[in-house]
Structure 1
Amino acid sequence: MSSQEEGAAEQDPNTEEPSSSSSCENDVTTGDIITVTIGATVPTGFEHTAAEEVKEKIGVDTRISKDRGRIYFPITTDKLFQVHLLRSVDNLFVVVEEYDHYQFKGSKEETLMELQQLASKLPWTNALEVWKLNCTLKKKKGYRKGGNGTKVKPNTVATNVLVPDSEHQELPQEMSATESQTKIESRPDVESCTQEAAPQDKVIKFRVTCNRAGDKHSFSSNEAARDFGGAVQEFFQWKADMTKFDIEVLLNIHNEEMVIGIALTEESLHRRNISHFGPTTLRSTLCYGMLRLCKPQPSDVILDPMCGTGAIPLEGAIEFNSSFYIAGDNYDMAVNRTVNNICHIQKRRVEKGSPSGLPIDTVRWDLCNLPMRTSSVDIIITDMPFGKRMGSRKKNWDLYPSCLREMARVCRPGTGKAVLLTQDKKCFSKAISRMGGLWRKLHTVWVNVGGLHAGVYLLKRTGAVFGQTPEDIYESRGPVNTQGDGKDVKELF
């Protein structure tokens, strides 16, 4: 590391100065209040939804990154607690430095040497102060110790390691052959984050996580994390630790955009509601984005006819509690999971001294023959079978038209809406065209769900009276079974 120390003493003339949007401009202090830039990963495709929520709840403008699935916004430290109240973000970090057009060297050796030298030149002070304050806030609010349980082998590339609970795992950015995520060093003990719990003579443990996307880099994310992490270790005299770290340093590289940050969350915020996972459990953050898309109003009756583990109606019952939610499924185990998740949330609310009641009910039913009155539902929102872990592509050709027809029957003509998630785009488009007299497509949000390119479709119920259009007489060619062969789906846990 001796060459690294020599390189740190002299400025490389080819290293780009921070962009106008860099965190250097955020080193503004008023008394003890610091203004910094917060970065957040969000469900891919719902960046604008997250930006709207930040504007609504924090009152600041948000910048959407060129790298899909990330947003940035300024905040003062006296309002830091508000970022943990956001429902559309997965992970949070404070920006140390940001470069819009970082000029990487041509050779691998030069680039890695430059990253080593960069570590000692970065403005770490404010970001570390925010990290300390954030740890204090989490300790006061009783955040649970430990991390998300993910174990990452050192010096390996991990592209999809955060959420092992879903057919529809949500990645922070599009999957590609050049994208990789490398984790060097790992999980903090929350109590050791604060100065009280970490005496001055205690060595801080850390890791570096590198997320890289782009096909013009001469280095791998593994190499970048290794060399940059080594320089950080030498500069601060911290100790690298894969399993019990205090600080996670982030190195996010997307083509020429590079952001260095410090993580503020130990595990993704999307796991906030679900205790009983199924094979296709959706992230709560994705559920929130789908709910905002349909704009629930007070007294709306909102239906999820294929609820799975109840992630969507449960998120709605908590965040949009002026509406009433009905969660149903034709699979006994799914209904049981939903009930268990509701009970878990109710118990947690009682422990916090809040009313336990939630505006939600659960039913077992045949989703193509719902036991509900015609025109009795305001909004239908559901995650339809992709035909991979649940059901099959072949069965979807019967299932989708039957579902859309029954949804149209129970949905209010003229005002009713539906928000439907599916990766089987060809089958869904054909089904919608066959149901054109009942449904009109308003908007589509393209999302990355577990590496799959899926669509969230916002539909409007036409004013046509059910029973008076050609679509009403459609009948499937046989009984519909969303479970494929009727066999129990293997649980992931």
Structure 2
Amino acid sequence: MATVTSGLEHIAAAEIGDAFLGSQVEVQYDRKDYPGRVFFSVSNMTEDSFSILNGLHSVEYVYCLIGRITLQSCCPPPAQPTTTTDDTEQLKSSLQEKEGQEKQSDEGEKVAEKKEEHKKRKKAREDDKRRKKKKTEVDPQLKEKALAEIASAVSIYNETDWETAYGVWKSYARAVKGIRNSEMLSTAIFSVSARTAGSHLFRENEMGETLAASIQTLYPRWRQQCRNSEMEIMAYLRNSELILGFTITQSSLSMSHVSASRDLGVTALKPAIAYAMLRMAQLRPGMIVVDPMSGCGTIPQMGSNIWSHCLYFAGDISEVAVRKTKNNEDSAREEKRRTAPCDVFQWDGTLTPFRDNSVDMVITDMPFGKRIGNKQGNTKLYPRIFQEMYRIVREGGKAVVLTQETELMQSKIISRKTWKDEEHMDINQGGMKTRIYVLSKVNASEECSGQHARELSVEWKCLWANKQKEVHPPGIEPGSPAWKADIIPLDHECWL
């Protein structure tokens, strides 16, 4: 089993299938029942298989499963309907009666009635709190029964199942980490990582303690140690199904493909998400890829490592972000990770120095308006960014963007019919619901009216003329042929 970013299950399944293309591999995933998890089995695992496993980009952690079992008494029983009188309805009826009597009562009686109403409301609130507290309280007998069932789940699998799963862990440790210890099976130091999803009669720490005690009963010579353990046993309980297994990878596989000393920004993108965006772009040899808002450069760095047959340009308006991107590129070059050319520059993403129809693909992480910028600013920024993308992307080119502004994308970008939404995918990014769009450029002569195309052309000429008037590069006189050109020529051989 592998854990992935929720929403990228099909990307991970496709990558696993492609990685083990020559082997017998079965891949399954269910985003509804098991979000963020992909189950796969590979026959005849060898050292080469472990090397392939270590090269996955969309996977976070890998586990070797011991088994899956359905429990009967771990979930709380359904709530029974209460037979007590509803204080809220009684309070409403009494208030309605008193509303008719208030007109005939004097001022003193009104004050007394208001005090009585206040007391009844307070009593009703206290009763509601007591009922809610009673619902959250767990019956000790039910809890003990549920934990006993958790403990018995360990012994359901025989010693062969445990040794087989542990043997896979030993083979991985021997092949990747270089650990060689023939006595490891009998004197292992282990820890238990327990996770739950859903409503249960016990907490995660209680579940972990129960499982650790049962494992020590099954293997008396094994010793539990929370920190610096040799191996980690994973227990994942979702509703009533318990999954047990050994943690194969101690660190995230996706993070291992970027420089360990990379300089992170405020909104650094996870490498697994960057890989998914690059894979959805379907890059081909010779493509020119641009990230106009690169941040710390995760997307171009992942692209140059994996899709080395493309040319990458990265830039950002922030000088700090550009410096971090260059530092990360230097670190990747020192570690011999980067295999494709990638140039980093400081520019305004709404006015990039590229000729019209000169870029094959734009892949970028758009600002969400939370840590950087704001929602109001995005309403002005997004149209300008996508207009600039439309100018530089050739006919048939695409843009792959990650954003949380789904309503803004629909109202300001897709509805203008300059970009066609070919595919979009919702993912869970750090608890936020975000979406990856794959947009294709719509040919203005076919999909847009002539008037609309002329308006876009005039708008871009005005924007570019204003930018040229604001900034004059050194050595270029205003009014010269270079100043009037579509692009400000820069002293770099890769500029288009």
TM range (shorter): 0.7 to 0.9
1:405–1:472: 8 Å Cα contact kept in structure 2?
A: no
Map 1:162-181 onto structure 2 (within 5 A): none
Q: CA–CA distance in 1 between the matches of 2:236 and 2:165?
A: 16
Paired position in structure 2 for 1:111? 146
CA distance in 1, matches of 2:404, 2:20: 33
Q: Is the 8 A contact 2:296 2:321 kept in 1?
A: yes
**Bigger share in helix:** 2
**C-alpha displacement at 1:474, in angstroms?**
6.0
The residue number in structure 2 matching 1:159 is none
Identity %: 30
Q: Find the aligned partners of 1:375 and 1:135 in 2 and give their Cα distance.
A: 50
The answer for the alignment partner of 1:173 in structure 2 is: none
Query: Paired residue for 2:216?
Result: 233
What is the aligned partner in structure 1 of residue 38 from structure 2?
A: 71
Report whether the alignment pairs 1:209 with 2:174. Answer: no
In the alignment, structure 1 residue 219 sits paired with structure 2 residue 202: yes
**What residue is the counterpart of 2:245 in the other structure?**
261
SS in 2 for 1:362: strand
Q: Equivalents in 2 of 1:54, 1:433: separation in Å?
A: 33
* Residue aligning to 1:137: 175
Query: Retained in 2: the 8 A contact 1:401–1:435?
Result: no
Other-structure match for 2:17: 55
The equivalent residue for 1:338 is 325
User: Which residue identity is paired with 1:120?
Assistant: S
Partner SS state of residue 318, structure 1: helix
- Gap change, CA 1:113 and 1:259, over 3 Å in 2: same
Match in the other structure for 1:84 = 54
Q: 1: distance between equivalents of 2:389 and 2:265?
A: 24
Q: Is the 8 A contact 1:89 1:270 kept in 2?
A: yes
Larger Rg: 2
Look up the match of 1:408: 390
Q: Is 1:124 aligned to 2:162, yes or no?
A: yes
Give the AA of the match of 1:104.
S
Cα gap change, 1:199/1:400 in structure 2, threshold over 3 Å: closer, same or farther? closer
Kept in 2, the 8 Å contact 1:287–1:312? The answer is yes
Cα deviation, residue 472, structure 1: 5.2
Determine if the alignment matches structure 1 residue 98 to structure 2 residue 79: no
In the TM superposition, 1:375-414 aligns within 5 A as: 375-413=357-395
Q: Are the structure 2 counterparts of residues 469 and 211 from structure 1 closer, same or farther at C-alpha, using a change threshold of 3 Å?
A: farther
Aligned to 2:400: 419
- In the alignment, structure 2 segments of 5+ residues that lack a partner are 77-141, 468-496
2:402, 2:435 within 8 Å by CA — same for their partners in 1? yes
The residue number in structure 2 matching 1:367 is: 349
Find 1:429's aligned residue among 410, 435, 455.
Answer: 410
2:195 is matched by which residue type in structure 1?
N
Equivalence map 1:278-289=2 (5 Å)? 278-289=265-276
1:315 aligned onto 2:302 = yes
- Deviation string for 1:67-103 (max 9, x for gaps)? 111101111222233211211111111111123x443
Q: Report the residue type matching 1:110 in the other structure.
A: K
- Whole-angstrom distance in 1 between the partners of 2:304 and 2:184: 43
Letter of the 1:233 counterpart: Q
Q: Which amino acid aligns with 1:132?
A: K
CA distance in 2, matches of 1:257, 1:304: 43
* Residue pair 2:305, 2:339 contacting (<8 A) in 1 also: no
> What are the Cα deviations for residues 256-308 of structure 1, in whole angstroms up to 9, with x where unaligned?
33211111111112222142111111111111111111100000101111111
**Residue type at the aligned position of 1:195:** N
The alignment of Structure 1 onto Structure 2 pairs a total of residues equal to 378
Q: Distance in 2 between matches of 1:200 and 1:233?
A: 13
